[in-house]
Amino acid sequence: MDVSGVWPFPLSLRSKLAAAGYSTLASLQNVSPSALARDIQVSQGEALRILKTLRGIDDAPTCSSTSSSLLSSAKTAWDLLCIEKTRKRISTSCAELDSLLGGGICLQEVTEICGAPGIGKTQFGMQLAINVQIPKEADGIGGSAVYIDTEGSFMVERALQMAQACVARLCSVDGLSFNSEDSFNVDTFLSKIYYFRICDSTEQIAIVNQLEKFLEEHKEVKLVVIDSVTFHFRHGFEDMALRTRLLSSMGQKLMRLSELFEVAVVLVNQVTTKFTGGISKLVPALGESWSHACTNRLILYWENNQRHAYMFKSPSLPSVSAPFSVTQEGICGVDYSKRPRRL
């Protein structure tokens, strides 16, 4: 059926279209602007205008509309910069570490923390689980935390100490008033840490699969800690290629969740000894391909009997290192004036 007679175009254009065989809406449906411009010899801008006008008449979905859902979601670099500036971060309680991290552990990103045994990786995870709950009035996020413990190292009495210190710190800040005492105490802090104890690699895969549903039901969760992602994957896998595939699929799922639910995902990784040219050195475990699973990688190490953190990988931040301490109150900056009580 020739409907070109009712199209809102000048006669010259209509005849050009007809001459090129474009006389029905259907015939124009799968034509790209550049092809149309060539066929009827108009500029590409003109061709696009024609197609857009016709799309307005015809409400039926065209093939380009499926791809345009992605294209229309584009953000300019300026938009991204503005979002970046308002991005929320979880403070680590240590000023040096926070500046190393550009203000704290970023929501919507996957951050990996690795380091030698006993360096304080678990302390880091526990501290973040407390700090994510600092209310908005105190420049915090006011969220809650999911703590996935694969190693059995989460000690509730230690979390209690950190929560007590955090409450004390917040109460000492002037100009902050909390409307009711009971909404803000140590017990609430602990009740907002959702603790999963994972006993093997299958359970670990299951919890990551399940996490989407859990986060949907608990929108207030702003932090997911997996301590550690490594333990159950360091044994029981004869097929290393399979292990790599399972791990990278897990990494992809976590990255998707972090963006979808605006949560910070913190993965604790172990280190392994690698022999290169007869020299042994400690490198993050789980191999090369796993290094792509995280956006940021923070390495913790000892130097001159002082704990340090090194920004090993980050898309936006420089690779520098910063000292930190672990005290009874939790993670904090190094106090050189008095000998800190190290943990």
Partner 1 sequence: MASRLLSGMQLDAPLFHVLHARGVLTAKDVLCKPELELMELLDLPLSLIREAIAQISLFTCPPYRSALTVMEERESELGFGHLRTHLQDIDSALLGGIPFGALTEVVGPAGFGKTQLCLMLCVITALPKEHDGLDGNVIYFDTERKFHSGRMAEMAVSRFPHFFTDGDNLKKLATSVLVYHPHSLDEFVNSLQGVEEVIIENKVKMLIVDSIAALMPSENAQEDLSRKQNVLGHQAGTLKYLAEAFRIPIVVTNQVRMTSNQRSLEDPELQLTAALGTSWAHSVNIRLILESLSGQRFIKVAKSPMSAITLHPYKVTSMGLELIGGEDYGQGGDVMRIRFDDLDANEDEDMEV
Which one among 100, 146, 226, 265 touches partner 1, defined by CB under 8 A? 146
Instruction: Return the C-alpha torsion angle 268, 127, 196, 231, nearest 10.
Output: 20
Which one among 108, 228, 258, 314 touches partner 1, defined by CB under 8 A? 228
Contact status: 297 vs partner 1 (CB under 8 A): no
Task: Examine residue 228 and say whether the peptide bond preceding it is cis (omega within 30 degrees of 0).
Answer: yes
As measured in angstroms, the least distance from the Cβ of 225 to partner 1 is 12
Contact status: 281 vs partner 1 (CB under 8 A): no
Nearest one of 150, 173, 147, 141 to 159, comparing CA atoms: 147
Place of tokens 């290192």: 321
Select 109 or 149, whichever has its Cβ closest to partner 1.
149
As measured in angstroms, the least distance from the Cβ of 295 to partner 1 is 23
DSSP state of 310: E
As measured in angstroms, the least distance from the Cβ of 186 to partner 1 is 9
Contact criterion met (CB below 8 Å) for 114 and 269: yes
Burial of 62 (0-12, 13-18, 19+ CB in 10 A): middle
Select 33 or 120, whichever has its Cβ closest to partner 1.
120
Site string for partner 1, 104-143 (x = CB under 8 A): ------------xxx---xx--x--x--------------
The secondary structure of 224-272 as a DSSP string is EEEETSSGGGSSS-S-HHHHHHHHHHHHHHHHHHHHHTT-EEEEEE-EE
The strand pairing partners of 221, in sequence order, are 144
The strand pairing partners of 248, in sequence order, are none
Place of tokens 């299958």: 202
Contacts of 66 (CB under 8 A, 6+ apart): none
As measured in angstroms, the least distance from the Cβ of 330 to partner 1 is 11
Which one among 29, 32, 321, 328 touches partner 1, defined by CB under 8 A? 328
Q: Coil, strand, or helix at residue 73?
A: coil
Select 55 or 218, whichever has its Cβ closest to partner 1.
218
As measured in angstroms, the least distance from the Cβ of 163 to partner 1 is 9
Which one among 51, 90, 159, 299 touches partner 1, defined by CB under 8 A? 159
CA–CA dist 227, 127 (Å, integer): 13
Which one among 18, 25, 48, 160 touches partner 1, defined by CB under 8 A? 160
Query: 275: which 2 tokens?
Result: 């022999």
Which one among 29, 62, 153, 291 touches partner 1, defined by CB under 8 A? 153
Q: Please report, as ranges, the residues that interact with partner 1 according to CB under 8 A.
A: 116-118, 122-123, 126, 129, 146-147, 151-161, 187, 190-203, 205-207, 209-210, 213-214, 228, 230-232, 234-236, 242, 245-246, 249, 270-273, 280, 282, 285, 302, 305-307, 328, 339, 341-343
